Structure 1
Amino acid sequence: MKWAVTFGQDMWRWGPKVADHETAHTFGLPDLYAFTGDTHQYVGGWDVMGNIAGPAPQYLGWHSWKLGWTRDDQVACLAAPGQRTVRLTPVERPGGTKIAVLRTGPTTAYVAESRRAEGNDAAACSTGVLVYKVDSAAATGEGPVRIAPTHPTTVPTGCTALDLAARTVGQSFTDPGTGARIDVLAGGPAGDTVRLTSR
């Protein structure tokens, strides 16, 4: 046996999501929760590899791509200085472009994806465009994926500030270090449109 996972007492608390989480490790997915400090400081309740009890446990589009569930032709990349506009369909649904990737270095990139409160994410605290930084050089438990927060002024009961990180039309994200920018241009029931800018 080359790969195996174990199931302890967590299986009685989290049910089938434990199998989703632990089996994903055998396919190379890292833990997205922190091994030290605030346990859910990196991704909050997004992705079952983070807070298994979070409100939006659908695998991130980046992870779906790594697993081969999202095809290369469903990924829009901007790897050089310039701009690119991308129409995203929600990761919870089949078909369409799933992630927009803005490369910022040899091991780093920002990813934008469309999220909706349906399927595995039926209890999501926010919907719209989720933006996160990926660093393939970061070890499991040390933040290989980090959600870009939106800094809400109020947080509903049962949610965390990171759970409210999905951006809506008119909102944007800019990395002060690289100048990388992601703007949400449009959004609706069918998905979102974003503009990637690399300097």
Structure 2
Amino acid sequence: MDANEVENAYFYDKFVNHYRSIVGTDQPRAYDAGSYLTRIEYGRASQIPGALLPAKVELKCVGRCVERMAEADPLGDEPPPCPGISSNPESYPDVPTDLMYDGTAADSDCAGMTYYPTFFTTDMLWDIKTYVSNDGGNTWNPAMQYQTKHGLPNPDGTIGKTLWFDYIQRMGYGDGPDQRLPVINFNGEWLDNQVGACGDSG
């Protein structure tokens, strides 16, 4: 709530993982390994009785698989869903799939590997869509879409592929034709690690 008593509500989803606990009884314990914002509701004037909700933002998160990142035009073409992570771990090169445990006795991958919680997510932000409503949220009219594109560059060394924010592109909606705006690129530069080694006088 802001100084004018206008409310904004934030909604989150979470990724639940398990680790193996051997204190007392050897058993899996659930914990929240990661979370992400899914929706924001804007502008409810709480000081006015019967005030209606005028605007919202929806954030869509999807699996961070190589198949989805291969789509050349994510704003124009929705790619198919990612393959299952348990059966296709190679599709998720920057996700620590060896630390994922579903909490069942059948999941033997947990044995001897995950004695402590680890924090990560298997998803990435796919798009952000904004909406306005004239009837308190019964119907929503799209206003703007922010489409992201990610990559998995492989830096020199032993780190391996890492999720990279490649670009964002916007689509505007209104009474006339939809307006597709130019891409905004995020270009990177490879740099040496800045952590000094033993004996480094620099």
The two structures have a TM-score, normalised by structure 1, of 0.26
The two structures have a TM-score, normalised by structure 2, of 0.26
**Structure having the larger proportion of residues in helix:** 1
Rg larger in 1 or in 2?
2
**Structure having the larger proportion of residues in strand:** 2
